[in-house]
Amino acid sequence: EVQLVESGGGLVQPGGSLRLSCAASGFTFSSYAMSWVRQGPGKGLEWVSTISGSGGSTYYADSVKGRFSISRDNSKNTLYVQMNSLRVEDTAIYYCAKEDDSSGYYVSVNWGQGTLVTVSS
Amino acid sequence: SYELTQPPSVSVSPGQTASITCSGDRLGDRNVCWYQQKSGQSPVLVIYQDSKRPSGIPERFSGANSGSTATLTISGTQAMDEADYYCQAWDSSTAVFGGGTKLTVL
């Protein structure tokens, strides 16, 4: 059974930094791309970033480009996102998702339970 | 940047058919996914590649995509289908979600 467990969320001041982790199990982690998707309070889903299985390719939403950095440690089956220069509008639940690209494009087939990031002074 | 537009809300009576649309420029040329998110829960994939259902998703969920509009159809809607639904597509190495549609079963 696929399990994705996010951690690292919390309260941080504007301009601060935070690193989120997503521990994966139940599948061959290095064979799958992974993504971060967020959801602000009372808002819809917003894609944040995706990383290929090898870690060699990364993609970012314009809203986080230059501030967030996605990475993975395939030896630890763990996905990360380093979030710097945080803004109030980054406040959201952050989900990690396992991507399947067998159809030629990424599909988020499994999601974690999310971790809450609150950016406030 | 690419945008996907969904109606904010759709209402349906139990047992009837619900249709949720997703519009975008030449959307029919892209592959569309649909996610269901029930209150307080994580999203769940219900349709991928326009019309395919993952294992475990009931047959009453179906999808279509043509021209500029993709449609998620729920036949014989049940109370348990009440949720927010999001369409999603990729554009130039960027994933885009629609704004979401709240499906009310009443």
Please report the pLDDT score of residue A36 as a whole number: 98
Query: Chain A within 8 Å of B5 (Cβ-Cβ)?
Result: no
Please report the pLDDT score of residue B92 as a whole number: 87
Of B31, B45, B100, the CB nearest to A108: B45
Confidence of residue A18 (pLDDT cuts 50, 70, 90): very high
Amino acid identity, position A99: E
Nearest to A88 by CA among A35, A11, A21, A4: A11
**What residues in A contact B31, CB-CB < 8 Å?**
103-105
Please state, in angstroms and as integers, the Cα–Cα distance from residue A55 to each residue in A26, A29, A40, following that order: 19, 11, 27
Q: State pLDDT tens for residues B7-63.
A: 999 999 999 999 999 999 999 999 999 999 999 999 999 999 999 999 999 999 999
Do residues B100 and B86 touch, judged by C-beta distance below 8 A? yes
Amino acid identity, position B91: D
Please state, in angstroms and as integers, the Cα–Cα distance from residue A85 to each residue in A14, A40, A50, A114, B61, following that order: 7, 17, 20, 21, 42
Mean pLDDT of A25-43: 97
Nearest to B47 by CA among B64, B30, B29, B28: B64
Confidence of residue A54 (pLDDT cuts 50, 70, 90): very high
Please report the pLDDT score of residue A103 as a whole number: 80
Q: Strands A92-100 and A107-111, how do they pair?
A: antiparallel
Query: Chain A within 8 Å of B63 (Cβ-Cβ)?
Result: no
Chain center to CA of A91: 14
Please state, in angstroms and as integers, the Cα–Cα distance from residue A5 to each residue in A48, A114, B35, following that order: 17, 8, 20
Q: b/e map of B7-25 (b: 16 or more CB within 10 Å)?
A: eeebebeeeeebebbbbbe
Please report the pLDDT score of residue A102 as a whole number: 83
CB interface of B with A, residues 78-97, below 8 Å: 84, 86, 88, 90, 93-97
**What residues in A contact B97, CB-CB < 8 Å?**
37, 44-47
Pair of tokens at residue A11: 């309260």
**What residues in A contact B90, CB-CB < 8 Å?**
105-106
The dihedral over CA atoms of B39, A24, B95, A81, expressed in degrees to the nearest 10, equals: 100
Query: Chain A within 8 Å of B38 (Cβ-Cβ)?
Result: no
Q: State pLDDT tens for residues B18-29.
A: 999 999 999 999
Confidence of residue A104 (pLDDT cuts 50, 70, 90): confident
Query: Chain B within 8 Å of A103 (Cβ-Cβ)?
Result: yes
Nearest to A6 by CA among A18, B48, A53: A18
* Apex A101 CA angle, A99 and A104, nearest 5: 150
Instruction: Name the 3-class secondary structure at B52.
Output: strand
- How many alpha carbons lie under 13 Å from residue B61 in its C-beta half-sphere? 22
